[in-house]
Amino acid sequence: MYLATAIRVDDRQFSSLNDTLNDCARILDAPEIPELYVIQGPYANAFTIGMDRPFIVLTSGLLDLMNEQELRFVVGHELGHALSGHAVYRTMLLHLMRLAGNLGWMPIGGWALRAVVAALMEWQRKSELSGDRAGMLCGQDVDTAIRVEMKLAGGSRLDEMDTQRFLAQAAEYERTGDMRDGVLKLLNLELQSHPFSVLRAAELSKWIDRGEYGAILGGNYPQREDDAQSDLGSDFRSAARSYKDNFDSSTDPLISALRNFGSTLDGVVNVVGQGVTDVASDVRRRFSEWRNNSDDEPRDGDA
């Protein structure tokens, strides 16, 4: 579809963007460079999708909003999704979200489905944080990375914004309000595909402060052959388990009150994590069967 509706980036179309993509691929040691498209759209957005060969799409609104260094962060972010294998499952999850109201073939009740969907969206949000780290490695400039999040939150008028005040909003967002506000926060975040920009900037700063960014620049990072040992199930269970980590460390008034009553969240984490794994595996199997059947169907002109 994007071949017909968007501009494919190469050495003659958006050549500076093509140079940025190639440079990011070199920095991240990408074995294959995904195709990059620019599509007309007023909103600043970028995404990586695709089943067999992932590709990256940037909107013209994003190009108008970001400068060259900021676009390097964005391209690195999306390339991180492609290299991490996120595109396949993000594409499937997109279909799953669209079909969520008609999944009668899944043997789970309404609340169980809500828990699975929430865990899937949590994985999606965590994958965005991983993408931000890839973008940071490509740009290697903290101020640029924070500026990207500020622009996504408040537009292009950086002279009207303050980095430290922006980062302070994340801590204020979590600790202020009463239990009713805590409920609203959970409901607002539950079906968001991306973490809020303020929270993304804060998480990126924490990652840098923990020394993990510096360690990678120093050559201490997992090798690609080690990544082959991971699987989708562990990814999803890790995302579900992050609920417990956030629960334990949160200063939100609602979460603090719930902690005082004790919790059986460990068991819930394991059940939801396994449930998400089973659902994702089933969705991929069905999706693959549908694609194979489609490929086997005779087309016009076939003998």
Q: Which helix (H) or strand (E) holds 116?
A: helix 110-139
The strand order across the sheet containing 46-49 reads 7-8, 35-39, 55-59, 46-49
Residues 212-270 pLDDT 10s: 899 988 887 766 555 544 444 454 445 445 544 554 555 555 445 444 544 443 443 44
CA distances from 162 to 100, 166, 204, 210, 283 (A): 40, 6, 17, 23, 44
pLDDT > 60? residue 141:
yes
What number of other Cβ atoms are within 10 A of residue 79's Cβ? Answer: 28
Beta strands in 50-169 (DSSP E): 55-59
26 confidence band (pLDDT: 50, 70, 90)? very high
* Given the residues 32, 68, 78, 289, the one annotated as active site: 78
C-alpha–C-alpha distance, residues 148 and 134, integer Å = 14
Residue whose C-alpha is closest to residue 198's, from 229, 238, 169, 228: 169
Amino acid residing at 302: D
The gap between the terminal CA atoms of the chain, to the nearest Å, is 27
Which tokens is 163 given? 């980095």
Share of the chain above pLDDT 90, in %: 32
Mean pLDDT (whole number) for 124-153? 89
Say what the pLDDT of residue 272 is. Answer: 41
Which tokens is 266 given? 């460990």
Mean pLDDT (whole number) for 272-285? 50
pLDDT > 70? residue 88:
no
Using a 10 angstrom Cβ sphere, with 0-12 exposed, 13-18 middle and 19 or more buried, the burial of residue 16 is exposed
Active site residue 203: no
Say what the pLDDT of residue 170 is. Answer: 79
Q: Tell me if 90 sits within 8 A of 48, measured CB to CB.
A: yes
* Poorest-pLDDT segment among 59-63, 74-78, 179-183, 222-226: 179-183
Say what the pLDDT of residue 191 is. Answer: 45
Q: Which residue has the higher pLDDT, 229 or 18?
A: 18
Q: Whole-prediction pTM value? A: 0.67
**What φ, ψ does residue 39 adopt, rounded to 5°?**
-120, 145
CA distances from 18 to 45, 62, 130 (A): 18, 16, 23
pLDDT > 60? residue 159:
yes
109 confidence band (pLDDT: 50, 70, 90)? very low
Say what the pLDDT of residue 3 is. Answer: 79
Q: Tell me if 201 sits within 8 A of 169, measured CB to CB.
A: no
